[in-house]
Chain A
Amino acid sequence: GAVVSQHPSRVICKSGTSVKIECRSLDFQATTMFWYRQFPKQSLMLMATSNEGSKATYEQGVEKDKFLINHASLTLSTLTVTSAHPEDSSFYICSARRRGLGGELFFGEGSRLTVL
């Protein structure tokens, strides 16, 4: 079946550094991917929609300069958390929809970011 892979699964960084998270669709092309943020025991909050070959669409309240999204190919989207601070610590999950398989989303394994 369709698989979405996310890397790294865990990352710990110092405050002020930038962290890049990759999201790959392994066996299908994804023109659109979605990035979510999830706090412990809470729901999935959509951060942005990543569009291949064009700018990402950010949700209200999400800083585009803080969370840089690049969707350079049909199988790869990246999320870069710039100048990370402890409040950016969270679980980041990407997802993609495979055309022809209905509306279901395939989620990556998630990346747990801890900023010290």
Chain B
Amino acid sequence: GQQVMQIPQYQHVQEGEDFTTYCNSSTTLSNIQWYKQRPGGHPVFLIQLVKSGEVKKQKRLTFQFGEAKKNSSLHITATQTTDVGTYFCAGPSAGGTSYGKLTFGQGTILTVHP
């Protein structure tokens, strides 16, 4: 079945360093979404990418969608302690009949040391 793989599983950085998490799907995706979950909290939507090769920025966050629409990345420049949390990528589930059904990657747990 469809798999969404995400690496690394953990990332520890010093405040001010950059951070990148990578997402790979076993199937071509119509779109990819990114979510952030703070410790003890629930996932919050960050962004959706739709077009092949698309790049979107949100302040220090840069999101990319691969040309083949099977991989994506999230890059954070100059991390801050507020960036701590787990970052998930998610793509529409293959073969699903329910609109909105997503398959989530394993997530990358980011720790930022002050």
Q: Are B88 and A97 in contact (CB under 8 A)?
A: no
Selected from A42, A97, A107, the residue in CB contact (under 8 A) with B42 is A107
- Interface size class of chain B, counting residues whose CB lies under 8 Å from the partner chain: 20 to 34
A-B CB pair tally, cutoff 8 Å: 60
Q: Are A102 and B48 in contact (CB under 8 A)?
A: yes
Q: What DSSP secondary structure best describes chain A's contact surface?
A: strand
Task: List B residues 17-49 near A (Cβ within 8 Å).
Answer: 31, 33, 35, 41-45, 48
- Given contacts A44-B43, A93-B42, A103-B33, A49 and B102 within 8 Å (CB-CB): no
Binary contact readout A82-108 vs B (1 if CB under 8 angstroms, 0 otherwise) = 000000000001011100001111111
- Interface size class of chain A, counting residues whose CB lies under 8 Å from the partner chain: 20 to 34
Q: Are B107 and A103 in contact (CB under 8 A)?
A: no
Binary contact readout B85-109 vs A (1 if CB under 8 angstroms, 0 otherwise) = 0101000110001111111111101
A residues with CB within 8 A of B: 32, 34, 41-44, 46, 49, 51, 57, 93, 95-97, 102-110
